């Protein structure tokens, strides 16, 4: 990823992460939890979602550590109160899945547009939008707290896994940093590029 691609990617991934968080709040509100709405987070206004570490510092750090091969950003997590959710465990899983689903849906729609247009600088930008949203969707499905993957998987595990879940939730941030900076992007890139190829018919946006 060259510097120009980095700028475009950064501009793209921040709004994509905001859409991701907005959908968590939207689905939670649909199932009866107005917490995000009352907190002023049920909006696409970037100022309500930007997180200094997750939206600005971490993406730039990841870009440098990965030699320009990997960047990830997240917006400020939308507050959800499971006690308000209708449908219990299933609604909680759907709220967690809403963010990654929004990113994959965005990637799918943009890839359709990309396929019908002739190759140009504009389709290159569309390819970055597809890539950024696939990256966000895949990364958030990793089952390490506080990522969405843990909120989807953990409610489905039997009680015998409770101690493991509690340990991972206690040290989730450390586990997540280890995953990101030590092995994460190397394991995820083949998956991300495979989905990108499936959506767009091309191997890479770069």
pLDDT by residue (tens digit) across 47-68? 888 888 877 887 777 777 766 6
pTM over 0.85: yes
Q: Could you read off the pLDDT of 13-34 as tens digits, one per residue?
A: 888 989 999 999 999 999 999 9
Question: Of 1, 13, 14, 21, which residue is the catalytic one?
Answer: 21
Percentage of the chain beyond pLDDT 90 is: 52
| 7/94: higher pLDDT | 94
Q: Could you read off the pLDDT of 113-123 as tens digits, one per residue?
A: 999 999 888 89
pLDDT at 185: 67
Q: Is 166 a catalytic residue?
A: no
Task: Output the DSSP codes for the chain.
Answer: --HHHHHHHHHHHHHHHHHHHHHHHHHHHHTT--HHHHTT-SS--GGGT--IIIIIIHHHHHHHHTTTS-----PPPPP--GGG-TTHHHHHHHHHHHHHHHHHHHHHHHHHHHHHSPSSHHHHHHHHHHHHHHHHHHHHTSSSTTSHHHHHHGGGS-GGGHHHHHHHHHSHHHHHHHIIIIIIHHHHHHHHHHHHHHHHSSS---
Closest CA to 22 of 71, 80, 92: 80
pLDDT at 1: 58
Question: Hey, what are 115's tokens?
Answer: 């396929």
> What is the separation, in whole angstroms, between the first and last Cα of the chain?
6
Q: Could you read off the pLDDT of 180-200 as tens digits, one per residue?
A: 777 666 788 899 999 999 999
Closest CA to 36 of 74, 81, 75: 81
How much is the mean pLDDT over the chain?
Answer: 87
What angle, rounded to 10 degrees, do the helices at 3-30 and 121-140 form? Answer: 50
């Amino acid at each position: 990823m060259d510097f120009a691609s980095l700028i475009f990617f950064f501009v793209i991934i921040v709004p994509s992460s905001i859409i991701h968080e907005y959908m968590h709040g939207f689905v939670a509100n649909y199932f009866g939890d107005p917490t995000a709405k009352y907190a002023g987070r049920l909006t696409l206004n970037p100022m309500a979602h930007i997180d200094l570490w997750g939206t600005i510092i971490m993406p730039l750090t990841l870009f440098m550590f990965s030699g320009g091969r990997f960047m990830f950003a997240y917006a400020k997590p939308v507050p959800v109160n499971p006690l308000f959710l209708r449908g219990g465990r299933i609604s909680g899983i759907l709220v967690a899945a809403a963010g990654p689903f929004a990113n994959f849906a965005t990637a799918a729609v943009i890839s359709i547009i990309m396929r019908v247009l002739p190759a140009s600088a504009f389709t290159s930008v569309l390819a970055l939008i597809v890539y950024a949203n696939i990256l966000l969707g895949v990364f958030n499905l990793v089952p390490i707290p506080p990522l969405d993957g843990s909120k989807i998987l953990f409610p489905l595990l039997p009680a015998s896994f409770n101690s493991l879940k509690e340990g991972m939730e206690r040290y989730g941030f450390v586990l997540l940093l280890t995953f990101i900076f030590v092995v994460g992007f190397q394991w995820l890139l083949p998956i991300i590029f495979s989905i990108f190829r499936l959506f767009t018919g091309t191997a890479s946006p770069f």
